[in-house]
Amino acid sequence: MNDLVGISELRSEFTRFMMAYKFGLDEVTTKINILKDEFGYAHEYNPIEHVTSRLKSPESIVRKAIRKEAPVTFDGIRKTLLDIAGVRITCSFISDAYEISDMLTRQRDVNVVDVKDYIAHPKPNGYKSLHVIVEIPVFMSDRVENVFVEIQIRTIAMDFWASLEHKIFYKYDREVPESILAELRAAAATAHELDVKMERLHDAVTELDVSVEDDAHRTDDAQPQPVPRDVLETLAAWRIDRTR
Ligand code: 0O2
């Protein structure tokens, strides 16, 4: 009976523990969405392509705590695992990754705890991404809790590579054959070449200083736009013409 009470208390403590991370994630995601929307209105070009977020599962939290030889207590986990809450931002160009990181980290309530620049210093397998761990205050009814959130920023090409590598890694249960590892390293180099080429093209077009309607108006929940009066007049005139 005591065991059951213990388990049930632990479960609600775990839920409370995770809630703080969920709120931290919500705060960071809101910040990113504000930047994304503001860019959409104020500039001709939006560096933020896509934003996703995730909370680590309880199994994976405990597994990682054990792997890192952290005390498997809430306090131990809180201090050791800085990526329980994670946001991933996909952007168009390499320079965007640094610009987005600057825009987020210069905000007053964002405290930068750690930066791992795997873009400038890729992992040996070819993995590239800019990782920024931030600490953010979450205001709750009876307390303020500072929560760590890991922000991963990468280009579309880096994200494409990382998603496939992640699948391969798990498919082979972490024992990936050397031939496939070599192909992955080569693919990472090709992805980097594409990033560099696309950025060069983008810079060249920007220098032309002509206004081009791009895809910035595309959203995940596109709504019909109001029909302008001149379009309606054209349609009406066309219809009258056809019925003559
Ligand atoms: P998931 O499924 O994304 O949660 P550290 O905390 O610094 O001691 P850690 O956690 O390995 O060590 O830190 P690091 O290097 O910053 O990596 C954290 C996350 O980056 C990983 O989270 C992955 O999301 C991503 N990542 C790092 N290296 C690779 C890689 O080689 N390939 C891919 N595809 N992703 C990578 P998790 O918890 O491993 O996984």
Ligand 1 atom showing the smallest separation from residue 161 Cα: 34
Q: How far is residue 55's CA from residue 83's CA, in Å, rounded to a whole number?
A: 8
Whether ligand 1 lies within 6 angstroms of the CB of 162 is answered as yes
Burial level of 227, CB count in 10 A (0-12/13-18/19+)?
exposed
Which atom of ligand 1 lies closest to the CA of 163? 34
Per-residue confidence in pLDDT tens, the chain, 244 aa: 466 667 888 888 889 899 999 999 999 999 999 999 888 777 877 899 999 999 999 999 999 999 999 888 899 999 999 999 999 999 999 999 999 999 999 999 999 999 999 999 999 999 999 999 999 999 999 899 999 999 999 999 999 999 999 999 989 988 999 999 999 999 999 999 999 999 999 889 887 766 555 555 555 666 667 788 888 888 888 887 777 6
Check if 9 is active-site. Answer: no
Instruction: Report the candidate in 89, 85, 161, 148 with the shortest Cα–Cα distance to residue 114.
Output: 148
Q: Which atom of ligand 1 is nearest to the CA of 125?
A: 31
Distance from Cα 94 to the centre of ligand 1, integer Å: 19
CA distance readout (Å), 77 to 32, 49, 96, 216: 26, 32, 32, 41
Q: For position 9, what pLDDT does the model report?
A: 83
Beta carbon of 125 within 6 Å of any ligand 1 atom: yes
Cα(40)–Cα(214) distance, integer angstroms? 11
Of the candidates 150, 175, 193, 207, the residue annotated as catalytic is 150
The reply to whether ligand 1 has any atom less than 6 angstroms from the CB of 154 is no
Distance, in Å, from the CA atom of 31 to the CA atom of 93, rounded to the nearest integer, reads 20
- Are the C-beta atoms of residues 85 and 21 closer than 8 Å to each other? yes
Q: Express each pLDDT in 77-126 by its tens digit.
A: 999 999 999 999 999 999 999 999 999 999 999 999 999 999 999 999 99
**Ligand 1 pocket member 83 (CB < 6 A):** yes
Q: Whose CA is nearest to atom 10 of ligand 1?
A: 83
For every residue of the chain, DSSP letters joined together read: -HHHHHHHHHHHHHHHHHHHHHHHHHHHHHHHHHHHHHHHHH-S---EEEEEEEE--HHHHHHHHHHTT--SSHHHHHHH---SEEEEEEESSHHHHHHHHHHHHTSTT-EEEEEEETTTS--TT----EEEEEEEEEE-SS-EEEEEEEEEEEEHHHHHHHHHHHHHHHHTTT---HHHHHHHHHHHHHHHHHHHHHHHHHHHHHHHT-----GGG--TT--PPPPPHHHHHHHHHHHHHHH-
Structural domain boundaries in the chain: 2-243
Give residue 25's pLDDT.
Answer: 97
Q: What is the pLDDT of residue 214?
A: 56
Instruction: Confirm or reject: Cβ of 118 under 6 Å from ligand 1.
Output: no
Q: Which of 84, 81, 146, 74 is nearest to 109 (CA)?
A: 146
CATH number of 2-243: 3.30.460.10
